[in-house]
Amino acid sequence: MPGLFITFEGLDGSGKSTHLRRAAAWLAERGVPHLVTHEPGGTPLGDAVRSLFLDPRWGTLDGVVELLLVFASRRQHLLQVVEPALREGKHVLCDRFTDSTRAYQGYGRGVPLAVIDQVDRLATGGRIPDRTLLFDLPAAAARGRGHSLSRQERGAADRLDAEALDFYERVRRGFLEMAAGDPRFHVIDSSGPPQATEPQVRRALSDLLEKEA
């Protein structure tokens, strides 16, 4: 049986990457075959695009320029990593996918969602994850605790860390609008400490263990 394609989404600083690593360790302990990957990136070409995409030298970029960069990375990632792993029966846990493009380039930068869908059809054939865990918390809280802030303090901020709070508020609203009424999404309240978030993540993935048993 093919594996499930499971994406982890949310604002920078939402804790999604930490919880993805923890979930992967939890699955590994129980012998559930899976693969951990991320976007933009996940392949040598994709990681090169990621560095380019996040390079602070470009400042604020046009949303369509951003969109074309992330979809180039995404197509390579699907062809080279995601689809082969799913075919082998591994569950793929992916840090960000097209919902991030809709939230950041669509709601954040104002690229029409219809344009994003058009490019998505070309680049991925309209590939939709089987399940999406959305790590939600207020934008101000995400920025306050997020890696963005600590990276800025270290002088290692990436290009999107420089965006103002209202950009992140639009991105959060976008994620929540996409999740509303769509059973693919599991909204995880990540406003509390990791101990409060982790059980929600395990609940959203618990059926993966049952299927292996």
Interface stretch with ligand TMP, choices 1-9, 38-46, 56-64, 203-211 (CB under 6 A):
38-46
Which H or E run includes 22?
helix 16-29
Phi, psi of 41, rounded to the nearest 5 degrees: 125, -150
d(CA 213, CA 194): 27
In the bound complex, what is the minimum distance in angstroms from residue 212's beta carbon to ligand TMP? 28
In the bound complex, what is the minimum distance in angstroms from residue 73's beta carbon to ligand TMP? 8
d(CA 45, CA 150): 27
Query: What's the order of all strands across the beta sheet hosting 131-136?
Result: 34-38, 91-95, 5-10, 131-136, 185-189
Whose Cβ is closer to ligand TMP: residue 32's or residue 111's? 111
Q: Does 37 interact with ligand TMP (rule: CB under 6 A)?
A: no
In the bound complex, what is the minimum distance in angstroms from residue 94's beta carbon to ligand TMP? 9
Give how far the C-alpha of residue 95 lies from the chain's centroid of Cα atoms, to the nearest Å: 4
In the bound complex, what is the minimum distance in angstroms from residue 209's beta carbon to ligand TMP? 26
Phi, psi of 20, rounded to the nearest 5 degrees: -65, -45
Interface stretch with ligand TMP, choices 98-106, 125-133, 135-143, 184-192 (CB under 6 A):
98-106
Which H or E run includes 5?
strand 5-10
**Residue from 4, 20, 32, 70 binding ligand TMP (CB under 6 A):** 70
Q: Give residues 164-183 in contact with ligand TMP (rule: CB under 6 A).
A: none
In the bound complex, what is the minimum distance in angstroms from residue 1's beta carbon to ligand TMP? 28
Interface stretch with ligand TMP, choices 85-93, 97-105, 119-127, 130-138 (CB under 6 A):
97-105
Q: Does 40 interact with ligand TMP (rule: CB under 6 A)?
A: yes
Q: Does 7 interact with ligand TMP (rule: CB under 6 A)?
A: no
Q: Does 12 interact with ligand TMP (rule: CB under 6 A)?
A: yes
In the bound complex, what is the minimum distance in angstroms from residue 141's beta carbon to ligand TMP? 16
Q: Does 100 interact with ligand TMP (rule: CB under 6 A)?
A: yes
SS3 content of the chain, % helix, strand, coil (to 5): 60, 15, 25
> Residue 147, Cβ neighbours under 10 Å: how many?
18
The residues, ordered by sequence, that sit 6+ positions from 117 with a Cβ below 8 Å of its Cβ are 126
Question: How would you classify the pairing of strands 131-136 and 5-10?
Answer: parallel
In the complex, the residues that contact ligand TMP under the rule CB under 6 A are 12, 38-40, 66, 70, 96, 100-101, 104-105, 160
